[in-house]
């Protein structure tokens, strides 16, 4: 969950330049705050046996080998992909920088985390449309990001049913929070762990930054 702290980046840069020991101490405190959430999130990653065998093993044919394969899932890799960072990120499109974050670096793990946010029942197969090619009319299945490319018309629904049986999508948005809800606050492992943490990690992160600011100002004034 994003939480904005004013002038936090400037403080981190000042600490790194003038008080590197305090900067390291602050990073350690922030890491200690995030570590339990990551451990909890890894506990929500299911075993391979709980997911569809085709997704775990992965399949390829002569017809699909030249295309980018759909990322497969491996429980161990997904757990290793879960981690945290306590160094500033690059600015996003809005100019915001993340000072501390939990992330999933594994592609299969990321799909498990977020699948169903946009299409709770999975992508449906595209409609049959007429097509004119090389002087001949024929029919083909309409393709696009909103449609499934599987030959199985029920593939999307079956995939989602399997994922939801392994772990529910949990909304980590705090109740009563003002502002427009976002699908980006929903997930099965990281966001579930954050929701169950009940703000403990966030409170510890803010406290670490505030303590660093106080120490920095006291030393600069001495």
Please report the pLDDT score of residue 105 as a whole number.
Answer: 96
Alpha carbons 82 and 58: distance in angstroms, whole number: 21
DSSP state of 185: G
135 within some domain: no
pLDDT band at 9; cut points 50, 70, 90 = confident
User: Shortest CA distance to 73 belongs to which of 31, 40, 107?
Assistant: 107
In this structure, is residue 2 part of a structural domain? no
Q: Residue 113 and residue 213: Cα distance in Å, rounded?
A: 35
Q: What is the pLDDT of residue 13?
A: 86
How many residues are listed for the chain in this entry? Answer: 222
| Residue 74 belongs to some domain of the structure | yes
Of the listed ranges 11-25, 37-51, 76-90, 128-142, the least confidently predicted one is: 128-142
Q: Mean per-residue pLDDT for 131-157?
A: 65
41 falls within a domain: yes
pLDDT at residue 131 in the model: 62
pLDDT at 5 over 90: no
Q: What are phi and psi of 104, to 5 degrees?
A: -115, 110
Is the residue at 36 inside a domain?
yes
Reported in sequence order, the residue ranges of the chain that DSSP labels E, i.e. its strands, are 82-85, 101-104, 124-125, 128-133, 136-141, 147-148, 170-171, 186-187
The answer to the question of residue 46 being in a domain is: yes
On whether residue 129 sits in a domain, the answer given is no
Position 62 scores a pLDDT of: 47
Instruction: State the Cα angle at 196 between 112 and 203, rounded to 5°.
Output: 120
Q: Considering its fold, how many domains does the chain have in total?
A: 1
Domain that holds residue 214: 8-117+169-221
In a domain, 125, yes or no: no
Gap between the Cα atoms of 128 and 106, Å rounded = 35
Q: Is the pLDDT of residue 16 over 90?
A: no
Say if residue 18's pLDDT is above 70: yes
Q: Among 49-58, 70-79, 170-179, 201-210, where is mean pLDDT lowest?
A: 170-179
Token readout for 62 is 């002569």
Q: What token pair was written down for 104? A: 């999933």
In contact, 129 and 166? CB cutoff 8 Å: no
């Amino acid at each position: 969950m994003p939480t904005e702290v004013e002038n936090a980046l400037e403080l981190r840069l000042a600490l790194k330049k003038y008080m590197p020991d305090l900067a390291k101490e602050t990073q350690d405190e922030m890491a200690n705050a995030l570590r339990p959430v990551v451990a909890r999130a890894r506990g929500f990653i299911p075993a391979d046996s709980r997911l569809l065998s085709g997704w775990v093993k992965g399949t390829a044919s002569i017809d699909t080998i030249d295309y980018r394969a759909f990322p497969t899932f491996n429980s161990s890799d997904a757990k290793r992909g879960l981690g945290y960072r306590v160094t500033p990120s690059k600015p996003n499109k809005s100019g915001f920088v993340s000072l501390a974050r939990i992330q999933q670096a594994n592609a299969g793990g990321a799909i498990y985390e977020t699948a169903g946010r946009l299409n709770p029942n999975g992508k449906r197969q595209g409609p049959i449309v007429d097509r004119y090619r090389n002087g001949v009319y024929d029919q083909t299945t309409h393709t696009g990001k909103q449609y499934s490319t599987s030959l199985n018309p029920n593939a999307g629904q079956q995939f989602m049913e399997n994922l939801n049986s392994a772990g529910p999508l949990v909304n980590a948005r705090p109740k009563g929070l003002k502002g427009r809800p976002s699908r980006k606050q929903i997930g099965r492992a990281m966001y579930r762990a954050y929701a169950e943490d009940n703000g403990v990690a966030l409170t510890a992160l803010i406290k670490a930054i505030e303590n660093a600011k106080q120490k920095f100002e006291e030393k600069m004034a001495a």
